[in-house]
Amino acid sequence: MQRSTDRMRRLKKLKSVTGAQDGVGGGDAAATATADNRTSESSDTNGAAASSGAGGKKPGTLNPEVFKHLDKSGRSEFLKYLKQQLQDAADTPVYDKNGVFKQGISNAIYQLLWQTLRFTHKKDIVLHLLLEVVALHADFPSLIVDVVNILDSETSLITDGFQEERHAFVQLVKDLERVVPESLLKERLEIDTLQEAGIVKNKSFYSKFIKVKTKLYYKQRRFNLFREESEGFAKLITELNQEFDENTTPESIMDIIKSLIGCFNLDPNRVLDIIIESFETRPDRWNLFIPLLRSYMPTGAIICEVLGYKFCHFKDSRTPRSLYHVCALLLKHGVIALNDVYVWLTPNDGSIKADWEEDLADAREMVRKLNLIQTNKKEDEKDPPPPPSVKKFNEEKYNANQKFGLCEALLKVGDWENAYKIIQKLPEQAVVLQEPIARAIADLIHLSVENIYYKKCFKAPAGRRPSRNRLYDDSKLVAKMQAKEFGDLRKYTWPMANVLGPAMHYDTVLMYKLIRIMRKLVVDMGVDSLNGPPPNSEAEQHYYDIMSSLDACILPSLLYLDNNCSMSEEIWAVLKYFPYHFRYSLYARWKNDSYQLHPNLIRRCGLAQRDIKALMKRVSKENVKQLGRLVGKYSHCAPGLLFDYILLQIQIYDNLIGPVCDLLKYLTALSFDCLGYCIIESLTLTGRLRFKDDGTSLSLWLQSLASFCGTIYKKYSIELSGLLQYVANQLKSQKSLDLLILREIVHKMAGVESCEEMTNDQLQAMCGGEQLRGEAGYFSQVRNTKKSSNRLKEALANNDLAVAICLLMAQQKHCVIYRETAAHSHLKLVGNLYDQCQDTLVQFGTFLGSTYSVDEYVERLPSIITMLREYHINTDVAFFLARPMFTHQINQKYDQLRKDDPNAKKLTTTQKLQKYLEATQLIMNPIVESVRPLHSSKVWEDISPQFLVTFWSLSMYDLHVPNESYQREIAKLKQAAGPASGRRQRL
């Protein structure tokens, strides 16, 4: 089909050149359709208008009558006509003196050959005549073959009813070898015609012809243009590396490149390579080379192939930084796509992931070996293994990784989007862990916070020099990434900081900047540990952005910073504005998950644990001060590891509680807060029994930990909210074992001792007032508890836990009997748990009554009716808690009645007593009525509601005054003061 189309095209072209042909044999039935449509007249090459003699034809044209007598006189007339046509221009039979194409000779030969095809004359006559024609001029063979080519097209295309003419044509071509050279026929005629005529006999000739043709016209030739066209490339290199003036445009350079390619036949791909090479040497002129490359090669995939071959060339050696830089600039400006060039980079992603996993496994193996105890160590070992340490940055391995190099280059030109795509394709921390990449991300974050930091957080000094980083030279990049307001931080700053992660430790200045911005944000929000931001507001988004950054980068980075106390304090300046449950969630991830991010963090964790164990072996009362400084240093960067081991040792050796409390005096506020979390985490660890093996008493580890809690919370200002909430949650879950912790805290911090196995003198003293109870009611004399008791009071008040814990303990006291019995617990254990609930409830209620003012107590405590009916508190506990409230209400009512009496100043003692009884009745009568529905009428037959209310509302102090206890304590004080007064008199 394609060959037929080509023939048709050539036929039209040749017929337009040769013009219309005269018909031969007007009445011949074998005339073709083409001949029928052909005009009988043809113009002369010179356009002569004179008439010829016979036949009425114009001069210069061949008389058709010649072909009727071709075997006689027509032969000489035909040759005479051709000779006449050659007289105008003897050099060529095709053109005249003016260079105009002559149609006469071509038409004559065309008509002569048609005589053979129509069988008008014998083929031999025509061939003999053609032999004489060929002798007339050297160009006639070529002209004859051209006419044969036209006949080939006509007979091959118009075949319906003319099969005989095609057959005659094939026979004619076979015999033309006697007239024209065979090579000329093979050159001009179609392959099919040559095979049909038998000139080409090889059947595979056509396929070979196609291969040769493809090789000649469609296959690119490879040859060394640098050697053969060195002048063109020299001029190109000169043009691309000259000093461009301000008026030079990419368009003008492009015109020069096109001229050089056309003049010196330069290979376009090599020209592209030279443009990229020139760009590498002058990356500062990116504003000229980027448009030039975009106009020279609009398809980025081809540029990626050239870059890919360059990267492949350097895969076994160090890749030049200039190549990374050029590739990054092209990616930044969208000339090429990342996926197109990424496939050329080495090593592959699987290899990088395998190396990362291997590094993590090596780090874990090192930690495992550190925890092994060698029992058969050989003393004569000559070459001991090197001590374990943190691995240093491997620059050689980094330089061999082209993906890391491209990521670094992208960050250095400010293309965060493409750099982040590379980070996402690989293990995230495996990329940002590399120091050059981490520092490049840090530079971008510096750029994003530069304006807002010096504008709102820190006043820049007068002589501060602007940054020399070339990122600041790109005004578009600065305008795009630099935050103007706090809301702009969400676009680039926080995402980049979160991706950077623990690697931010490479730039502590950046850490300080981000922390101060966070502090400014939370201060402007007006939030604190009790009040968060308004929901669904921009402040709430900032609030959680800060938490995410603290969790992802700030706290993990602190693990790398040894002995950096100031950084710890800066972080606490932000964290203290968050509620304890948010802070504890951050500590949990910091302590348990952050160490698994980097292999070096795993190694640092193992080495720190080894050092902490060695330190704790040396702890004693004599070296507390020296070791305390070391403990403080460890706590600045890794408090979680330190406190885990310390708490473990305390649970085993309770005699360490005192020295350890003294060791912790050098801790920062952040470390103390983390200690509070670690204590709660230690209490919640699963897999440890809270009872001794006999099942009758609490485990020693729980008792030691409770004692440590009381001591440490009293000595240092650690927030109690989390621990108190933990106790309340345990009570809510019907678990009363952790009341031991609350008892120790109240005892140590408030000086209120639980009433357990008291002597008769102590029982008598407990009937007295607060002063007597403090002096003689407890075994130990607790001093200086005012500050610590106020802290405990504030912690309970801030979280509304005072009343909640009281009510939960009251409920638990009566539920523990049935619950533990149903669980088949030992009877002694059930009794101990009941006594613990009762003792702790009395202790805690005594603390609340003595610490809270009456107004605060009344405000927080629910009414007696609410406790009895809604909370289902037993009568004894409800009246124990409400007793101070009754006294306060009766006193207020008594004062009101006395003021209302006009003779208030003249009232006698009896009248005052009467007023007091009246006030008591007004306050207690509603309570008496409220307790009636609590019991059946049969109960009230034995005792009256008034008796019940009166009995439970009075304390021992209301019924009995322990005069002997007062006198005994006064005597002790006088006896102790005697020697002191004697020494004063002697002095």
Q: How many CB atoms lie within 10 A of CB 297?
A: 20
| Residue that is written with structure tokens 């009636």 in the block | 932
Please indicate, yes or no, whether residues 512 and 642 belong to a single structural domain of this protein: no
Question: Is residue 780 one of the residues assigned to a domain?
Answer: no
Q: How many CB atoms lie within 10 A of CB 757?
A: 6
Question: Is residue 136 one of the residues assigned to a domain?
Answer: yes
- C-alpha torsion sign, points 866, 871, 875, 879: negative
Question: Is residue 201 one of the residues assigned to a domain?
Answer: yes
Q: Which of 371-385, 427-441, 902-916 has the highest mean pLDDT?
A: 427-441
pLDDT at 3: 43
Q: Kindly report, residue by residue over 342-382, the tens digit of the pLDDT.
A: 999 999 999 999 999 999 999 999 888 888 766 555 544 54
Q: How many CB atoms lie within 10 A of CB 727?
A: 25
Distance from C-alpha of 580 to C-alpha of 588, rounded to nearest angstrom: 12
Please indicate, yes or no, whether residues 72 and 145 belong to a single structural domain of this protein: yes
pLDDT at 761 over 80: no
| Residue that is written with structure tokens 């031991």 in the block | 740
Going by C-alpha positions, the residue among 706, 699, 712, 702 that lies closest to residue 671 is: 712
Q: What residues form DSSP beta bridges with 691?
A: 698
**Domain termination site, one of 554, 578, 602:** 578
Please indicate, yes or no, whether residues 200 and 73 belong to a single structural domain of this protein: yes
**Domain termination site, one of 578, 613, 633:** 578
Please indicate, yes or no, whether residues 550 and 606 belong to a single structural domain of this protein: no
Residue 689: half-sphere exposure toward Cβ, Cα within 13 Å: 9
Torsion angles phi and psi, residue 390, rounded to 5: -80, 135
Please indicate, yes or no, whether residues 616 and 487 belong to a single structural domain of this protein: no
Question: Is residue 562 one of the residues assigned to a domain?
Answer: yes
Please indicate, yes or no, whether residues 535 and 646 belong to a single structural domain of this protein: no
Residue type, 36: D
28-32, 565-569, 967-971: which has the minimum mean pLDDT?
28-32
pLDDT at 173: 83
Please indicate, yes or no, whether residues 542 and 638 belong to a single structural domain of this protein: no
Q: Kindly report, residue by residue over 621-654, the tens digit of the pLDDT.
A: 888 888 988 898 888 888 998 999 999 999 999 8
| Burial state string for 51-77 with b = 16 or more CB within 10 A and e = fewer than 16 | eeeeeebbebbbbbebbbebeeebbeb
Please indicate, yes or no, whether residues 663 and 521 belong to a single structural domain of this protein: no
- When divided into structural domains, the chain yields a total of 3
The DSSP result for 808-822, as a single string, is: HHHHHHHHHHHHHHH
- pTM (two decimals): 0.72
CA of 349: how far to CAs of 36, 324, 421, 431, 607, in Å? Answer: 76, 18, 13, 12, 31
**Domain termination site, one of 578, 610, 641:** 578
Question: Is residue 225 one of the residues assigned to a domain?
Answer: no
Q: Which of 19-28, 240-249, 554-563, 822-831 has the highest mean pLDDT?
A: 554-563
Please indicate, yes or no, whether residues 514 and 638 belong to a single structural domain of this protein: no
Q: What residues form DSSP beta bridges with 95?
A: 101
Please indicate, yes or no, whether residues 646 and 559 belong to a single structural domain of this protein: no
pLDDT at 980: 63
Please indicate, yes or no, whether residues 550 and 456 belong to a single structural domain of this protein: yes
Q: Which domain holds residue 82?
A: 66-218
211-215, 245-249, 615-619: which has the minimum mean pLDDT?
211-215
Question: Is residue 113 one of the residues assigned to a domain?
Answer: yes
Question: Is residue 59 one of the residues assigned to a domain?
Answer: no
Tokens of 37: 């449509």
pLDDT top residue among 594 and 696:
594
Q: How many CB atoms lie within 10 A of CB 938?
A: 7
Residue 518: pLDDT band (50, 70, 90) is very high
Going by C-alpha positions, the residue among 854, 922, 850, 914 that lies closest to residue 888 is: 854
Torsion angles phi and psi, residue 713, rounded to 5: -70, -25
Residue 856: pLDDT band (50, 70, 90) is confident
Distance from C-alpha of 197 to C-alpha of 173, rounded to nearest angstrom: 6
Distance from C-alpha of 857 to C-alpha of 880, rounded to nearest angstrom: 13
Please indicate, yes or no, whether residues 555 and 613 belong to a single structural domain of this protein: no
pLDDT at 30: 33
Question: Is residue 921 one of the residues assigned to a domain?
Answer: no
The answer to whether 521 and 546 have CB atoms below 8 angstroms apart is: yes
pLDDT at 945: 87
Give the pLDDT mean for 817-833.
Answer: 77
Q: Strand, helix or coil at 93? A: coil
Going by C-alpha positions, the residue among 511, 521, 639 that lies closest to residue 578 is: 521
